[in-house]
Structure 1
Amino acid sequence: MNLPTRRKEMMNRLLKEQVVKTVLAMIHEGTPVTMDKVAFRCGVSKGTVYNYFKNKKDLLNTVHEAVIIPIKKESCKIFEKKIPPMEKIYGFVENVFNFQKEYPLYFKFIQSQRSAAAAVTERMDLIIIPLVNICREGMHQGQFMDADPYVMAAMIFGTVVGPLESLTYREDALQDLEKLKQEIVRFLDKSILKEQERSL
């Protein structure tokens, strides 16, 4: 590959990264995301943004992928570790809360932008199916209550993600995210573990 081609590819990658960072900053601020505003904040013309993204949906899909890939990688690492099943679930909780700290308004924003079908498919692939496998492992080892692993996995997902999705709808602002995380872990312990495992 010649130097001008490499330079052009590098510039394209840098501009795309700048656009993604700009959109994430706008989400963090609660600023409406439009192609005009993204172009203005990146210091380029709207036409330049359209050279890289077909439309706003394409732009937001690219941003979502940029956000979700690191989470997916981290979750995979947690789910594949040779540790007890409940430790994997605690790792999943930690990963979700770390994401919430880094992108506090992202759950609310993404709910308003993605179709229900896309969200369900992504949730099943990234989280539910791996959690089903962890639940089966925990039941097989005699640590988890006997239950339908899909029901248990969906319950775990709802218990962990549901409170974060509802943060912006609370009448009173939540002050202590760490306390919320501990309450979720306590609830999961009581809901998943067999009685003898809880007392250890």
Structure 2
Amino acid sequence: MITRRQKQIINNHWKEIYPSATSNSIKWDYYCEAPYIKNGRSDSEIKKTDIPAVEEKRVYSSRILEELDENFSRLVNGFAALSDYYDWASSKFYLHKLELPVLLVNSSDDPLIPSELFGPAISLSSTKDKALFVVTQNGGHLGFFEGGVVIPETVTWIDRVIVEYIKSIIFVSSEGLY
């Protein structure tokens, strides 16, 4: 069982722990997939040519997600600069094309997406009638998990929000309000 003090320590250092843990998780994925990547079987190698060799030592020494993206992700996706990879991976170039109702949810305590990056979502929700942008105070990065640290609830906060949002869209559409 995690003590109150341990929870306090984790919460105080979450913005340092989470990116490191994420980086380690991706490095483990790389380790498992390395034979396929080396044999030219990755999707990115099928799509692009002249991909520089990945230096495994640099991948495994990456401590945060940005370092891992620099040493691995941008290379296998064929980008010369990390900023080019981030631009390519960003949704900001596609959001304006959305015509269906869309709910964008972010958390102000997200360790990977700080509020400084909310601009495209704010812009979309202020220019598109069918776009709603919601920022919660807490929630982290993925899933808005609930319950215990070791055994989270199977239905999360975000699951309930999505169901309620879909119900609302169906109701509004059936009433001819859209």
Give the alignment's TM-score, normalised by structure 1. 0.34
- Higher helix proportion (structure 1 or 2): 1
